Structure 1
């Protein structure tokens, strides 16, 4: 599983880095490894920022189940995110949708569609797909277009 849109491959470091890149606090950049370590430790699972850094760099790749559960809980994903590629793919699709919904331009467009008829929504969906084709964007980042 790879793609050019910053989605992880099958290894732990890529998946963890993807979570750091995707799950950012509102109004600022990514969490630091020290912030994540403090929160996980405060939840009862001792872990250091340097250990998380080693995991992110791929220099450690066999963390304990407790550490993976702590990381998963912090980022709000199921622990199977790190083991099951189907779960990883499903979660990454949800993360892509959340990233898109954070975009104020996307929010404005979505809000402007409230109250439109089913037929109008379908037409807007078709226009968006055509513009994506013209710009060379193959597919909606959240998956194939659903019928509106």
Structure 2
């Protein structure tokens, strides 16, 4: 049940560029079609999933940083629609875990990466480790920054 505080602005000093940038990233990364959805599609999806009604122009204003003071209810609904914690949208800076998941989702949309990941199924941990070493070397040859393992367990 919606409370009285749900209609209050989240924060008077919320940095519009951080909210706008995060929304833009969510539009780009979390779209099942691979292309960013329209504001109308997102508004409809938010209503279908949460029952919270927002207009497409309002979402556009949030995404472009022209509106910087969403209500708690709106932030929660947007977060629920995109499957991220509301704190990701509210907090300045990034949530490392959410950012990591978004990078993974974006990478898995690439057919080549998805194909390689599928081929890893059934390989031993040793073989997967060997392949990771090869990929690390290829990244180095292409002057790309190193990417550490997703879980820091020792072997």
Is the TM value for this pair above 0.5? yes
Partner of 1:121: 128
- Tell me the alpha carbon deviations over residues 117-140 of structure 1, each in whole angstroms, 9 at most, x when there is no partner: 332222111110000011111033
Matched, 1:130 2:153: no
TM-aligned CA distance change 1:107 to 1:11, over 3 Å: closer
Matched, 1:145 2:146: no
The RMSD of aligned alpha carbons is 2.3
- Tell me the alpha carbon deviations over residues 74-119 of structure 1, each in whole angstroms, 9 at most, x when there is no partner: 1111111112357632111101112222222122222323333332
Matched, 1:41 2:47: yes
Q: Given the two structures, how large is their TM-score scaled by the length of structure 2?
A: 0.77
| Worse-matched range after superposition: 16-25 or 78-87 | 78-87
For structure 1, which runs of at least 5 residues remain unmatched after alignment? 1-8
Matched, 1:71 2:78: yes
> Of the two structures, which has the highest relative contact order with CA contacts closer than 8 Å and spacing of 6 or more?
2
Q: Given the two structures, how large is their TM-score scaled by the length of structure 1?
A: 0.80
Is this contact kept in 2: 1:82–1:88, CA < 8 A? no
Is this contact kept in 1: 2:46–2:52, CA < 8 A? yes
TM-aligned CA distance change 1:109 to 1:41, over 3 Å: closer
TM-aligned CA distance change 1:112 to 1:44, over 3 Å: closer
